[in-house]
Amino acid sequence: MSTNHIDEDDDFLAVSRGHQQSASASSSSSSRSIPPTPPLSYDVESPLNRSFHTDTDPDGSLNNNNVDDIDLDKDITDVLVADADANNNKNLGNKSITNTPPYSAKKRALELITSWASGTLDLCDPGLLPVQEFRLTPTEYRCLLEEIESDSSVFGFFEDKISATYSKAEQTFRLKIPHQMHQSPLTRLLIHLDTFLNTCLANFPDLQSDLEVSGNTPFTFFSDQQHAKRMRQQKERKDLAKRVERVASTRNPISPTEIQRRYAEIDAMYDPNTKPKGVTRAPDVYVFFASVLYPCLCFEVSWSQSLENVQKVAATYLRRSRSAVRIVGVVDIHYNKTKNKDVDPDQSVWIRLYKLVHRPINHNRVRDDVVAISEVQVQDFNGNIINSTTNCIDIALNDFFPRFLTEPHKNDPNMINLLSQRYILTTQRMHEILAKAKKLQDRYEDQTGMHELSPELEVEEG
């Protein structure tokens, strides 16, 4: 449940949830060997943790220095070009010496992913770093993907649940591992939001049956280039139809078989079933109507990133959906790491809402800015509440309900009342949600001695 990062740099590629492509191997020459090294320590200030870093202006608007550098069109095979053998071997005359340690970084990464998929990884261990990093050559990275894909259960979990990135320039493979204490507040937030919206839609059974508040469905955000490609496909089909019409009026008409063959050629060039060269994202919590393409409200989690990538995440959803996603709420959960399992890490949670604002530059130009509209911060589960710039999350239902869904009921007094309501999440309420999640976690651990949160307890307390 996390965000997959794709940088505009040619040396940066990502493995995205729901969008795993098999990489083709090409060969080139290399003069030196780069053996794998142990995982790198996590540091939020490290240059390795540089993706999605943006700044905000004092007024809360997005600083566009590196706003739109997320290239969702980059195919994983475009940048997975490296030595197939030369990086692992040093050729000395007719001899080949392989520099492979007995316990490689690739093997450690594979074991971590396998244990996570099988449920044996203790996500409640406070000493578990939220970002695990492994030094892998492109060849090792490709082999890792092949081994993951060979096990259908691990591959399915890897596609749907794991956020992983690979940098060819740094030869670093990163895995983001959400702490179990992160999952509990999100479950509470989902229940809170779901209860509120279903209560609001009680008078509209058609909308209520169409509503989904969850976090399981991946949504593919197409880029402008892919949209243009589809437009070219439609144009080619129309042009062919015109040519057929002209030729059909002559003495030598084109046979129906030839027309179908040509249509098939055009469709093959733009196969709609082919996975796009973009990224598939599954928001952690979203409000989604089955009759629309994108969710209208998303909540995404940033794991201990100290708000450094939240604007990039928001910009991706808002811009790539062409404003179909109205509001993005980013939840940044930060904790001070400790290796002592008996000591709870210090927790702080920050939620910030973003929306796309159209600002006129001159009489015929408009600039789209991603701006923060409200935010709320809570400091640790058991400690004091710290008020931020605004002390509540405030969302008008009229801001994110799709207009074509509410239009048929526009004269209904119940709909007018519905659209005037607001979803408000105060600092106090957020603190209660987190404290309750902590209480449920402690209660389950006391009863079972296990670190896994019981779904039954969530339902019972929901």
**Is the model's pLDDT at 196 over the cut of 60?**
yes
**Is the model's pLDDT at 90 over the cut of 50?**
no
Cα 407 to Cα 200, 207, 323, 401, 404: the distances in Å are 17, 12, 19, 10, 5
- pLDDT score for 348: 66
Place of tokens 């019972």: 460
Query: Of 410 and 254, which is predicted with more confidence?
Result: 410
pTM of the model: 0.49
DSSP state of 98: E
Cα 4 to Cα 45, 148, 425, 427: the distances in Å are 19, 18, 27, 29
Contact 314, 354 (CB under 8 A): yes
- pLDDT score for 410: 79
With cut-offs at 50, 70 and 90, classify the pLDDT of residue 173. Answer: confident
Query: Of 301 and 193, which is predicted with more confidence?
Result: 193
With cut-offs at 50, 70 and 90, classify the pLDDT of residue 21. Answer: very low
Contact 19, 27 (CB under 8 A): no
Lowest mean pLDDT among 292-296, 337-341, 390-394, 428-432: 337-341
**Is the model's pLDDT at 136 over the cut of 80?**
yes
Place of tokens 């959400």: 178
From the list 270, 212, 266, 228, the residue with the least C-alpha distance to 244 is 266
CA-based radius of gyration for the chain? 25
**Can you spell out the DSSP letters for 316-357?**
HHHHHTTT-S-EEEEEEEEE---S-TTSPPPEEEEEEEEEEE
For residue range 23-45, list pLDDT tens digits in order: 333 334 444 444 444 444 434 33
Task: Convert 419-453 into a string of H (helix), E (strand) and C (coil).
Answer: HCCEEEEEHHHHHHHHHHHHHHHHHHHHHHCCCCC
| 299, β-bridge pairs | 285, 329
Q: What is the mean pLDDT of the chain?
A: 62
For residue range 294-339, list pLDDT tens digits in order: 788 887 766 554 555 667 777 777 877 777 788 888 777 665 555 4
Q: What is the share, in percent, of the chain residues with pLDDT greater than 90? A: 0
CA distance 124 to 276: 36
First-to-last alpha carbon distance for the chain, in angstroms, is 21
**Is the model's pLDDT at 77 over the cut of 60?**
no
CB atoms within 10 A of CB 177: 19
With cut-offs at 50, 70 and 90, classify the pLDDT of residue 174. Answer: confident
With cut-offs at 50, 70 and 90, classify the pLDDT of residue 124. Answer: low
Q: What value does the mean pLDDT take over residues 108-123?
A: 83
- pLDDT score for 423: 81
With cut-offs at 50, 70 and 90, classify the pLDDT of residue 123. Answer: low
**Is the model's pLDDT at 220 over the cut of 70?**
no
CB burial string 252-287: b at 16+ within 10 A, e below? eebeeeebeebeeebeeebeeeeebbbbbbbbbbbb
Task: Convert 140-184 into a string of H (helix), E (strand) and C (coil).
Answer: HHHHHHHHHHHCHHHHHHHHHHCEEEEECCCCEEEEECCCHHHHH
